[in-house]
Amino acid sequence: MHWTAKLWVAMAALIVTTSGITAAHAKPFTINHGWVVWTGDMSPMIFEKRDILKDYGKTYTVDPIHFKGTSPQLQALATGQIQIASLAYSSFANGILNAHLTDMRIVADGFQDGVNGYASIQYMVKNGSGIKRIEDLKGKILGINVIGAAVDIGARAALLKHGLVAGRDYTIIESPFAAIGAMLLEGKADVVSMVPPFLYAPQVQKGAHTLFTMKDGMGSSQMIVLVARESDLQKHRKAYDDFFEDMVRGIHWMLNPANRTAAIAFAAKTGKLPVARLSGWYLTNKDQYRDPNGVPDLAAFQRNVDAQVKFGFLKHSFDAKKYADLSFIKRAAQRYETASR
């Protein structure tokens, strides 16, 4: 063999060997995952249950990042600080119509509110406050986590049905979910949005009661959806396929009644909560609904978007299906089913 041919053979072998080493030692893609309530936004929690995951640490890893609401996640998603956002329907709509983030894609279910047989977010008043009807909230203070978030929209919609308009008939203030119950009991707000697990705090259950629910204002809602950028999904297809398959695997494990005791202990440990705070309601019909395969209800999501237009929260509607890519979550469900046989 001529020396030039030998050189090309040696170079080809070196390239193949180097490629193999690079592939074998490729760094997993880090998915920064936004969340608001640990036990509500189940997805980031699932990735702490490493013993049931198949591909974690191989093609992807997850870094959960906490936000006080879903609206602040829009900017983080836009600037690449997070790759998966847990967005309420209101935040997603603002991202499409106002922030012009038109490459956002709904990729999976977070959780659904007001589904028949399951819970709806509650708006509570202090016992002995004298507030017995929604009409009694005229001139009062509404406490929510973030202005523009879904719990804000849901409250406004319910109050508008009774003739009360924000800014004219009542005032809105913000407080983190973890502190909002205390704000009610201390008299700093007259009605507040309460979500699990904070809803079930003993002092809240003892000192307050529900006046209305989000379902009263919005009907059933696709409350939280997982959202990613289309360009990112395509750039890291393999990592996202593995991410979503493990997510579906984790959802099935969490929702399996046989695992409920272990799932509650796991959620309490990772969420730094007392087990007693979760045991009476979590993963039961007192909790909000989650699709076992992570598929969102786009019809409900569209109704939620249209309702925002009806109540004056959006200038116009849009076709939610155009901004959804469910191919990853549907492939994940198929892969999980195949692997489980």
Q: What does the pLDDT look like over 93-128, one tens digit per residue?
A: 999 998 999 999 999 999 999 999 999 999 999 999
Of 94, 199, 203, which is closest to residue 153 (Cα–Cα)? Answer: 94
Q: What is the pLDDT of residues 50-60, one digit of tens each?
A: 999 999 999 99
Q: Which fold has domain 24-113+221-340?
A: D-Maltodextrin-Binding Protein; domain 2 (3.40.190)
State which CATH number among 3.20.10.10, 2.40.160.60, 3.40.50.10320, 3.40.190.10 fits the domain covering 122-218: 3.40.190.10
Supply the pLDDT for residue 131. Answer: 98
Q: Which residue has the tokens 């609206």?
A: 71
CA distance linking residue 101 with residue 232, whole number of Å: 13
Q: What is the mean pLDDT of residues 184-208?
A: 95
Q: What percent of the chain has pLDDT over 90?
A: 79
Supply the pLDDT for residue 11. Answer: 44
Inter-CA distances, 146 with 65, 89, 143, 172, Å: 17, 14, 9, 10
Q: What residue spans define the domains of the chain?
A: 24-113+221-340, 122-218
Supply the pLDDT for residue 25. Answer: 58
Q: Above 80 in pLDDT, residue 300?
A: yes
Q: What is the mean pLDDT of residues 133-137?
A: 98
**Mean model confidence pLDDT for the chain:** 91
Task: State the amino acid at position 306 in one-letter form.
Answer: D
Q: Which residue has the tokens 């847990």?
A: 86
Q: How confident is the model at residue 314 (pLDDT cuts 50, 70, 90)?
A: confident
C-beta of residue 72 within 8 angstroms of C-beta of residue 146 = yes
Tell me, yes or no, if the two domains 24-113+221-340 and 122-218 fold the same way.
Answer: yes
Among 146-150, 154-158, 195-199, 292-296, the range scoring the smallest mean pLDDT is 146-150
In eight-state DSSP terms, residue 113 is E
Query: Bigger pLDDT: 273 or 325?
Result: 325
Q: How confident is the model at residue 4 (pLDDT cuts 50, 70, 90)?
A: very low
Supply the pLDDT for residue 68. Answer: 85
Of 296, 147, 311, 285, which is closest to residue 218 (Cα–Cα)? Answer: 311
Specify the pTM: 0.83
CA distance linking residue 103 with residue 170, whole number of Å: 36
Distance, first Cα to last Cα, the chain: 53
Q: How confident is the model at residue 7 (pLDDT cuts 50, 70, 90)?
A: very low
Helix-helix angle 89-97:150-160, to 10 degrees: 100
| DSSP codes of every residue in 130-184 | ---SGGGGTT-EEEESSTTSHHHHHHHHHHHTTT--BTTTBEEEE--HHHHHHHH
Q: What is the pLDDT of residues 61-84, one digit of tens each?
A: 999 999 988 889 999 999 999 999
Supply the pLDDT for residue 1. Answer: 53
Supply the pLDDT for residue 127. Answer: 98
Supply the pLDDT for residue 49. Answer: 97
CA atoms 87, 89, 93, 94: torsion sign: negative
CA distance linking residue 6 with residue 155, whole number of Å: 76
Supply the pLDDT for residue 2. Answer: 53
Of 99, 78, 70, which is closest to residue 222 (Cα–Cα)? Answer: 70
Burial of 213 (0-12, 13-18, 19+ CB in 10 A): middle
| Full strand arrangement of the beta sheet holding 171-174 | 171-174, 141-144, 191-194, 122-126, 208-213
